[in-house]
Structure 1
């Protein structure tokens, strides 16, 4: 793996990191309600899930897991239902209780666990590491070391993405300071999460 390969990997990876997926949407919603620090700390759960996926991809086990129809179906259903549950929670949340940086009814551990399960429950996410990463790996070199380097870069860029969406969510908090507008924001996020959940349930292996 050359330096040029890394220079090509970074922008391509960052585009994936910044894509408005369910986890980034959750970071934005968490920052709006609990603050930037809580949202960024909760993002550690997502990084832990990705570390597991990168490890599986580096050992070749990810391909075996992804090609298992039963396992794919189980993860897909669990992830889709979890997304729908998060969407329901946002939709029914009392808008008068927002706007407080205190963690309210959820602990930091609960927010971190949400991020972890949301990332781990998406079988499509493993394609990033089984199909995208190998494009930048030189088979003639140490595959494990190259996955380590690419994985570390990916996680650093993912952390930047978490912070960026958290700051964006914090900004939206001021725009949606009134309960009616806060309810609208929650319903928009709920609709997007619900759509992602339905899309995941309908997804098929490619």
Structure 2
């Protein structure tokens, strides 16, 4: 079981730490509002991650595969949601002058995971690789993989949030908060287009 956990972490490392909708979302929020303000969204995202991962591990994906239109709808909804987040950043003014700005909420975190078809594909791929460990109770294995996957994502997103907050502090001192918001907005917009095309 320890060998499986190590192999799983090595498998997930490039997926969890490379730029994607979740990482960039938390980096942007960390840059704009600071680390502590991202906690509700992080809690929402990772509770949703654990729930969806466990459901897929226990066979929910087989139900979805019988209705491929669901994945198409998820892809479209997810890309539109990320575009909506990007447009908010692009419209944002300087942090301290933008009265309407608010940190991402618990609901935002949940929606970001639920509307990300890439997450479903990664989770399914993970289970095809790591669910056949001889001599281990299948239920415990699914719960163990689910928990390790969620904790690994939490660590990756925390790193990205911290980097974003650090970058936000530098830009705030330089009086260039708007440029930072614009930069993250353009990057998230590109991610949304990539989600539509993948």
TM-score range, shorter chain: 0.7 to 0.9
Give 1:9-88 correspondences, 5 Å limit: 9-66=8-65, 68-88=67-87
**TM norm structure 2:** 0.88
Whether the aligned pair in 2 keeps the contact of 1:28 and 1:39 (CA below 8 Å) is no
Change beyond 3 A, Cα 1:89–1:4: same
CA distance in 1, matches of 2:101, 2:89: 13
Please tell me whether the aligned partners of residues 49 and 113 of structure 2 are also in contact (alpha carbons under 8 angstroms): yes
Equivalent residue number for residue 106 of structure 1: 102
Q: What's the secondary structure of 1:177's corresponding residue?
A: helix
Q: Does 1:122 align with 2:121?
A: no
CA deviation after TM superposition for structure 1 residue 201, in Å: 2.1
- Aligned: 1:200 with 2:195: yes
User: SS at 1:176's partner residue?
Assistant: helix
- Say whether 1:145 aligns with 2:140: yes
Distance 2:164 2:69 in 1: 37
RMSD, aligned α-carbons: 2.3
Aligned to 1:135: 129
SS at match of 1:106: coil
Query: What are structure 2's unaligned runs of at least 5 residues?
Result: none
- State how far apart, in whole Å, the 1-side matches of 2:64 and 2:110 are: 19
What's the offset of the Cα at 1:134? Answer: 2.6
Q: Which residue of 2 aligns with 1:157?
A: 152
Residue 90 of structure 1 and its aligned partner are, at CA, apart by 0.4
For 1:148-187, list aligned pairs within 5 A: 148-177=143-172, 181-187=176-182
Report the alpha carbon displacement of residue 104 of structure 1 after superposing the two structures with TM: 6.5
Give the TM-score, by structure 1 length: 0.85
Residues matched between the structures, number: 197
Question: Aligned in 2, Cα 1:170/1:57: closer, same or farther, shift over 3 Å?
Answer: same
Which digits, 9 at most, give the CA deviation of each residue in 1:132-191, with x for residues without a partner? 233112264422211111111111111211221121111102221157622222122111
Most deviating of 131-140 and 116-125 = 131-140
The answer (yes or no) to whether the contact 1:84–1:193 under 8 Å persists in 2 is yes
CA distance in 2, matches of 1:156, 1:36: 17
